[in-house]
Amino acid sequence: MAAKMNHLGNFADIIPQDWIDEILYKQGWAVPKDLFLNPNVILNQDEEKWFTNNLYDKSSKFFSVFYSDHCSFNVKLPFAPKSPDWWIVKMMPGEYIPVHGDLAMADRPHGKSYWMPWQDWEPGHVFVWEDQFVSNYKKGDVFEYDSSVPHCAINIGTSPRIILQIREY
């Protein structure tokens, strides 16, 4: 049976425009190249595949990520009350995250994964989860999903794509 992605509602009112503006002008971390500045970084099996036979370049930038340390704000999430982890993904046109599963989440029986777009969907903003193409979402929509299922995202449009990722453990 195909996995499902549950729409929990729209929470656009918790995203001030100045947060979006901050993400747009800041750099964040360039993934994957900045990840390897941390000698303790461990890739999962899916991520290791990206770099097998030089398919992808470890020193390149797929996209930017912003953790709480990168941001002047702290995200409070009414739908995820248990002190979740969060980070923000910014994909400029031409950026992407190759197909992978967040495999560590499969080992957390009470873990929950959510994603929340910070702008309305536009043609060229690609999110494929398992074998489903996710589109026509609105800024502030919140989806609960199984992030251990293979998924990928690509931006072949003309505007940045910003997504908040949330994990409850």
Partner 1 sequence: MSLKYIGNWADWIKPEWVEEILITDGPAIPKDYKTHEEMIQKSLMGHFKEEEWIEEWKDWQQMNEAYDYENNFFFEMYDPPDLKFNLYDDRPPFLEFDGPFAWWITKLRPGKFTPMHRDSYSVAKPTHKYWMAWTDWEPGQVLMTEDDVIIKYRAGDVYKFDDPFILHGAANAGIQTRIALQITTWRPNRGII
Write out the H or E segment, with its range, that includes residue 18.
Answer: helix 17-25
Write out the H or E segment, with its range, that includes residue 29.
Answer: strand 29-32
Beta strands in 11-130 (DSSP E): 29-32, 61-66, 85-91, 96-100, 112-117, 125-129
Counting contacts by CB under 8 A, is residue 3 touching partner 1?
no
Show the site string, 102-141: x = touches partner 1 by CB under 8 A, - = not: ---------------------xx-x-x--x-x-x------
Q: How far from chain centre, in Å, is Cα 83?
A: 18
CB of 158 to partner 1, least distance (A): 5
- Determine the interface stretch with partner 1 among 20-28, 29-37, 103-111, 146-154 (rule: CB under 8 A): 146-154
Phi, psi (degrees; rounded to nearest 5) at 8: -90, -10
Counting contacts by CB under 8 A, is residue 94 touching partner 1?
yes
Show the site string, 54-93: x = touches partner 1 by CB under 8 A, - = not: -xx-----x-----------------------------xx
Which tokens is 2 given?
A: 């195909």
Instruction: Decide: 38 and 72 in contact? Cβ < 8 Å.
Output: no
Which residue's CB is nearer to partner 1, number 109 or number 123?
Answer: 123
Local structure of 129: helix, strand or coil: strand
Write out the residues near partner 1 by the rule CB under 8 A: 49-50, 52, 55-56, 62, 92-94, 96-99, 123-124, 126, 128, 131, 133, 135, 150, 152-154, 156-159
